[in-house]
Structure 1
Amino acid sequence: MQNQIVAKHKAMKIDFIEIKNFRKLQSCRIDFDREKTLLVGANNSGKTSAMIALRKFFLSPKSIDIRDISIQNWSGIDRIGADWEKRDNPQHNLNDFLPLLDVWLDVPLVKIHHVVHIIPSIDWSGGAIGVRLQFEVSDIDLLKADYLKKRLAAKKIEDEAPDEQKPSIEPKNLVEFLENSLSKYLTLKAYSLDPTQLVTPDNKGRACVQSLSEDALEIEGSPFKSLINIREIPAMRDFSSGSSASLDSDDVKPDRLIRTLSDHVRSYYDKHVEPTDEINGDDIRAFSALQLAEKAFDRRLKTGFSSVFEELTDLGIPGINNPNIVINTKFKSLDGLNHGSAVQYRVYEPEDGQEERYLPESCAGLGYQNLIAMAFLLMRFRQDWIEPKGGSEVDIKIAPLQLVMIEEPEAHLHAQVQQVFIKKAYDILRKHPDLGESSTYSTQLLVSTHSSHVAHEVDFANLRYFRRIPSEAQCHSPTSTIINLSNVFGKDLETMRFVKRYIKATDCDLFFADGAIFVEGQAERILVPHFIRHHFPNLWRRYISLIDLGGNNAPRFKPLIKALGLTSLVITDLDAGMKTQKKDGETRVVTRKAKPKVGCGQVTTNPTLTKWHPALTDIDALLSLKESEHQMHTENEYDLYIAYQKPVTDPTNKDSNIKLIPRTFEDALIYANFDALKDISGSSTTNKISALVRDKLLGDELEAELFEIIDKAEKAAFAIDCLVEIKDGSTLSPPPYIEAGLKWLEEKLEETTLLAMNSGAEGNG
């Protein structure tokens, strides 16, 4: 148990939320970072479900829909309807199947005046405060009566129909009845939770949501009103649609990038630059001299927006070779006093006496417009919160915490600016004299993404990985849990640093993949995708993360792969060695590289094979390992296959029983494509290999010559030559050990997909 009593910081924050019975999120916890939290995971893993859950619980509870209830709860709901029809008392309460959201705040005692209405007891002295938002049936008798009335009418039609034409009339069950009317019967209630009953999620990230006691205190009204200011940018892709939807409405609607950039600028101006209802001197002059008025109003706009454009420079705007953004007045007629403004782009800096040239915003790139528009939205969120307008200034209360949710910013931004945006977004939300490093008001940013560019710019500890859990029974659907990646490596700081730095040095697509392939060199990194494309079409359609570790570092990723539950293939080398004694003042046993041979007492020096799987050292045991023993299934956590070189037939004498044991990927590749390589040319390594193939050396002589070439080879150049010179890609075959590994990965992912489809996971993700 966790007893969170003492606040961790001076500022209030959302510590974590727990979600139950919402779509794929059957029972999970999302830990919130003090500043920014990034939700990552593969397709259909539940990231969007989490954002929608927050939206529906916090902003639009009336939009709750039957599809928001976890699919595996539907059969229980239908049983209640069936019991009503049989006039039996249901065994379960319908409320037990409905979604709930627990919000846990970390609040210092000095902020008690903000949370006095939700503190768990009079003994509270700062720290954890939990509030449950629970959907409940407002009138169960009304729901029962309405359902039975509809079912009676449906059955009447069915019974009166001819036997050979029996129709199926809706609703056939309670779920079908609620499909278009769920929100009519539900209400959202809030309850106070007990911090002493908190339990840590299990090792797969499944939350242990506490049971609500019968005497739980119901909180009247909205528990988070005037406590948390919530703003949202959903993943809408219709920025330039010209929709007239208002962003200034009091209705709880998401802020979308659906208008022109000029509209966003105007909205910001109206609230936070220099709004006035009075007719000023500029207006009077406008009626007599329009151009003079434009210049005067331009000065007014440029002065008001000067600080805004200073913030935009932090985002790299305008950037190299991009036009400068400017604000110019735009009078459509003289029949009104409502100044119009338009975003335009200055093409170049004019010389003395030259006229300035501008282009309309529609001429700029969409990604460029979107970046500026999103920056304006974030500035608006900040200003609307910290400098609210309207009503009596005395009556305005500023919420101590603002939560800003952004769903898939990459839907709006090109890859080049995604990294810039995520680095600067939080800074924009805090760039105000009353914010900054102050603990008076807190800001938390929650972002869901499927972009490795975005994930790359966020600290490892800020990532929350949505892990897909296969269905545990045929009648159940797959679910998702959330893994806090800051906890994955425990106290193994060295391994954690290596993995974090490696991922930062390459990319973060591992967090969005259906499966992972680990390789050890550049040649494998170049050719494995080629093998997949031409020999494994089903695998080619998958989202596979290919990771080149440049050595035997795969075991370092074991804790991460285990936490992610990611199906993984490791392509490694046999690395045969012979133990010998070395004398240097004292006798030591060392392992020297050796040509692989059976029956010579050789050992492997590869830590993947000795420390991860199959956890063997003896070369004879590794070479005789059965195909089924190359794979492992760990406590329903992850599936793994280790592929390494095995004996192959001598390509110069295929009718003999002579077996060659490849030492590296390159010689295994040559043995598998012996005839196809005789005519290729390119790098010095490629030319030597081509000449060797034409010489048709046999057995030991071939192995010895090949070892000399490969040991000093330009391996990447040879791999590229294979791609370029062999015209028909399908004629370049993968070595047998790699073919076996790719076949296993393809079948394993296909099996997972079929399981998900048969359980209906696609409809409730």
Structure 2
Amino acid sequence: MKIKNIKVENYRLLKSFKIDLEDELSLVIGKNNCGKTSFLSILERFLIKDENSFSFDDFNIEYQQELKTLIKDPDTPEDFYYGLNMTLEIHYDENDDLTNISSIMLNLEPDTNVVVLAFHYAMEYEGFVRLKKDFKLFVKEGGRDDITYFLMKNHKNGYFQIQKKAVDFDNTDNTELISDKNLIRRIINFQRIGAKRDVKNEGGETSKSDRTLSKMSSRYYDKISNSEDDEDNTKELKKKLNETDEKLNIVYEKVFQRIVDKVGRFGGLVKGDSIIEVKSTLEEKNILKENTSVMYRHNGKQLLPEDYNGLGYMNLIAMIFEIEVILYDFKKEKQTNKVQEIPADINLLFIEEPEAHTHPQMQYVFIKNIKDVLIEGTLTKGGANINLQTVISTHSSHIVAESDFNDIKYLFKQNPYEVKIRSLKELEKDYKNNGEIENFNFLKKYLTLNRAELFFSEKAVFIEGDTERLLLPAMMKKLDIERKDWNKANGIVPLLSQNISVIEVGGAYANIFEKFIDFLGVKSLIITDIDSCKKVKVLKGGKVLQTKKGKDKEKLQKCPVDIGQETTNSTLNYFYGKPSISDLQKKQFENKTFNKVITKKGKTKEWVENKEGNLSVIYQIDEYGYNARSFEDAFINLNLYFLKSNKKVFKSLQKKKKLNENNFYEIAENCLKGKTVFALDILYYSDDKFEDWFIPEYIKEGLLWLQN
């Protein structure tokens, strides 16, 4: 039995949200404030808390505005409904125990193996009629004519009710209220490990408040103390404590003799009433809680207190303790009043941001081992496995890089009021349907090895190679300095203060990322080269070779832009439909932005030109009467004086006499020993504000577009 998916409606940014859960582990990722904590919160409120813990602020902001229209409508239909919703779709098979879900199986068709649980925090007809009446009176008595403000103050006055229902999978009108709150807990046991874990490192002498791990050892013991797996060990501990009690009693009699004698002087109503004895009553739970220290061995020799450890290790150890405690709780191995409880049908564990305080290597170790730890922990004393599904939310690119790609669920803001979620499985399917599964496999390798931080970026720049990678941050800084006052006056965030990932993909591979760019849904800039070429005859022995059809054989040859006919750049050919060099030169910047939309055929999505598009693909343009072919060519066109001024110290320059010929194409082709060392020379010999050289206009246009 598994939760197949969870749907959420109208809750904070989760306006219309659906997440498919994996059978074992789902990794929920995304930037800050994109709904990960909200998803955890609504699970907690519907599956754990009995009381009404919702506020009107929990309603999606756009959905709140809809209420303003509804409140002004004089008519209220009897089927009126306004509320937060969460739906769990649960799939089962013939091997599952159906005892708990049998009462909510509203569809008994043999081919249907689905039950649906629906949770609502809703206002229906009677509540809305009363709300309208109360709000009208509120305004009449001088209150603000704002239903949102009124409900923020008064929404718990009985207008909304929490409802839990079973729903027919094939007929959503067929529902049944669930009055037994324990039934849902027998079906789903939900536990969480929150991001705000109680680990601290005060340094110095260990105090009671610091001993988080020691306290957790007590919690762990409490869970295992009635487990048959540890019965021999716990019996041994109790036996040793009893022996210690007997020894302490002998000592106590001596230590407390004076006070016992003084108490005895006061007598009592009956002789011997005031005779007391001090006895040792050590309890294993309390002695672990108050008198146990978790130590760690430093360099394999000296024992040190737990708070001498770094916060990262403490956080990791605390999580392992807590996971183990929760797994025992899931397995119900602790008896209650001599009665052995039965594990829930589904055990759902949510681990929030396990990376807290941990360095990258520890994050790698965590995600590589967590699946095995969870699987091992599901085995019960009877030999069967409990049904466990785990959700981990993270901001860590290191955890993503080491995770199973198919486990990833990517959250992103579709607009300021709504979050959507996408699965990497969907992306794989998209590539596969287009016969590009090899491209997907390349993308998966590239992201996991190099650039998993893309998932957490607000914006992205895809570049050709080392030159742009080294110089782009300098260009961003240069623009930020030049436009400091303008940015401040217009409330524009400087480029280097924005969350922008720079990804090196090469001219031949940028188009492979196009589906991933659409998948991410972030503003993206592709910077590439125009790569002009011309057609030339293929010669052999001074003669032109012929095709089988008797035509002259031709090939494409690299050439300056002013005599170029076509581009060999695969990215430009992909996005601009195999354009001629002349076509590319005619395009203005507004013709270089795209959105991916479903075509008129309605089956596939294609990139189409759109002035408001979220993707821009840029290349070299005419500057001062010259159109460069490459970045180096464009930079030399604008900054030849800078090169000449530093020709004695630039390690990248050769054939330096050619600098006087002012042939920028030839200089780029023949005077540079290497592109990387050229970029390093530019950085090394620039002034602090990069005022001694200019940014090529095509890059400047792209960066300013990306900034806004």
TM range (shorter): 0.7 to 0.9
CA distance in 1, matches of 2:47, 2:201: 27
CA distance in 2, matches of 1:682, 1:429: 63
Task: Show the counterpart of 1:526.
Answer: 470
Change (3 A) 1:114 1:580: farther
CA distance in 1, matches of 2:589, 2:69: 47
**1:667 counterpart = 2:633:** yes
Shift of 1:687: 4.0
1:256-280 deviation per Cα after TM superposition (whole angstroms, max 9, x unaligned): x997121112211232265579953
Task: State the AA in 2 paired with 1:730.
Answer: F
CA distance in 1, matches of 2:375, 2:679: 50
Indicate which of 364, 370, 374 corresponds to 1:419.
364
**1:119 counterpart = 2:109:** no
SS of the residue corresponding to residue 556 of structure 1 reads helix
Change (3 A) 1:218 1:723: same
**1:594 counterpart = 2:558:** yes
Change (3 A) 1:375 1:258: farther
**1:220 counterpart = 2:179:** yes
CA distance in 1, matches of 2:78, 2:687: 66
The residue correspondences of 1:176-187 to structure 2 (distance < 5 A) are 176-183=149-156, 185=158, 186-187=160-161
Structure possessing the higher radius of gyration over alpha carbons: 2
Task: Show the counterpart of 2:120.
Answer: 134
Indicate which of 366, 369, 374 corresponds to 2:319.
374
Shift of 1:286: 6.4
**1:647 counterpart = 2:622:** yes
SS of the residue corresponding to residue 179 of structure 1 reads helix
CA distance in 2, matches of 1:571, 1:481: 28
The residue correspondences of 1:219-298 to structure 2 (distance < 5 A) are 219-222=178-181, 223-236=183-196, 239-240=199-200, 260-272=212-224, 280-285=239-244, 288=247
Shift of 1:435: 6.4
Change (3 A) 1:69 1:568: same
SS of the residue corresponding to residue 495 of structure 1 reads helix
SS of the residue corresponding to residue 98 of structure 1 reads strand
**1:624 counterpart = 2:624:** no
1:204-249 deviation per Cα after TM superposition (whole angstroms, max 9, x unaligned): xxxxxxxx41x4233332353212221101221652299xxxxxxx
| Structure 2, unaligned runs of 5 or more | 203-208, 226-232, 252-278, 481-492, 599-606, 608-612
1:436-489 deviation per Cα after TM superposition (whole angstroms, max 9, x unaligned): 9x985322111122221121122222111223223xxxxxx6312111221124
Moved more, 624-633 or 99-108: 624-633
Contact 2:495 2:707 (8 Å CA) reproduced: yes
Contact 2:629 2:665 (8 Å CA) reproduced: no
Change (3 A) 1:151 1:412: farther
Shift of 1:570: 0.4
1:556-590 deviation per Cα after TM superposition (whole angstroms, max 9, x unaligned): 11112122222111000111112234368863855
SS of the residue corresponding to residue 379 of structure 2 reads coil
Contact 1:680 1:722 (8 Å CA) reproduced: no
Indicate which of 188, 192, 195 corresponds to 2:169.
195
Contact 1:405 1:446 (8 Å CA) reproduced: yes
CA distance in 1, matches of 2:494, 2:6: 38
SS of the residue corresponding to residue 196 of structure 1 reads coil
Task: Show the counterpart of 1:611.
Answer: 574
Change (3 A) 1:121 1:522: same
Shift of 1:348: 4.3
Task: Show the counterpart of 1:656.
Answer: none
1:494-537 deviation per Cα after TM superposition (whole angstroms, max 9, x unaligned): 12111111111202111111111100101111111221123146
CA distance in 1, matches of 2:118, 2:211: 36
Contact 2:296 2:304 (8 Å CA) reproduced: yes
Task: State the AA in 1 paired with 2:464.
Answer: E
CA distance in 1, matches of 2:84, 2:8: 8
Shift of 1:68: 1.3
Contact 1:47 1:448 (8 Å CA) reproduced: yes
Task: Show the counterpart of 2:445.
Answer: 501
Task: Show the counterpart of 1:22.
Answer: 11
Shift of 1:121: 1.8
Change (3 A) 1:278 1:570: closer
Indicate which of 692, 705, 708 corresponds to 1:744.
705
CA distance in 2, matches of 1:38, 1:503: 16
**1:360 counterpart = 2:312:** no
Change (3 A) 1:146 1:696: closer
Task: Show the counterpart of 1:60.
Answer: 49
SS of the residue corresponding to residue 170 of structure 2 reads helix
CA distance in 2, matches of 1:289, 1:220: 54
CA distance in 2, matches of 1:154, 1:43: 39
The residue correspondences of 1:555-566 to structure 2 (distance < 5 A) are 555-566=511-522
TM-score, length-scaled by structure 2:
0.79
Task: State the AA in 1 paired with 2:570.
Answer: P
Contact 1:680 1:686 (8 Å CA) reproduced: no
1:330-370 deviation per Cα after TM superposition (whole angstroms, max 9, x unaligned): xxx988553221111223445xxxxxx43211111111111
The residue correspondences of 1:702-713 to structure 2 (distance < 5 A) are 702-710=664-672, 713=673
Shift of 1:15: 0.8
Change (3 A) 1:497 1:138: same
Indicate which of 532, 535, 550 corresponds to 1:576.
532
Aligned residues: 618
Task: State the AA in 2 paired with 1:415.
Answer: P
**1:547 counterpart = 2:507:** no
SS of the residue corresponding to residue 671 of structure 2 reads helix
Shift of 1:81: 4.3
Contact 2:191 2:348 (8 Å CA) reproduced: yes
The residue correspondences of 1:301-316 to structure 2 (distance < 5 A) are none
Contact 1:20 1:99 (8 Å CA) reproduced: yes
CA distance in 2, matches of 1:682, 1:505: 39
Contact 1:23 1:67 (8 Å CA) reproduced: yes
Change (3 A) 1:183 1:35: farther
Task: Show the counterpart of 1:486.
Answer: 425
CA distance in 2, matches of 1:76, 1:677: 62
| Structure 1, unaligned runs of 5 or more | 1-11, 159-168, 198-211, 243-256, 293-332, 351-356, 471-476, 650-658, 748-765
Task: Show the counterpart of 1:730.
Answer: 690
CA distance in 2, matches of 1:72, 1:411: 33
SS of the residue corresponding to residue 104 of structure 2 reads coil
Change (3 A) 1:699 1:220: same
TM-score, length-scaled by structure 1:
0.74
CA distance in 2, matches of 1:643, 1:420: 40
Contact 2:12 2:61 (8 Å CA) reproduced: yes
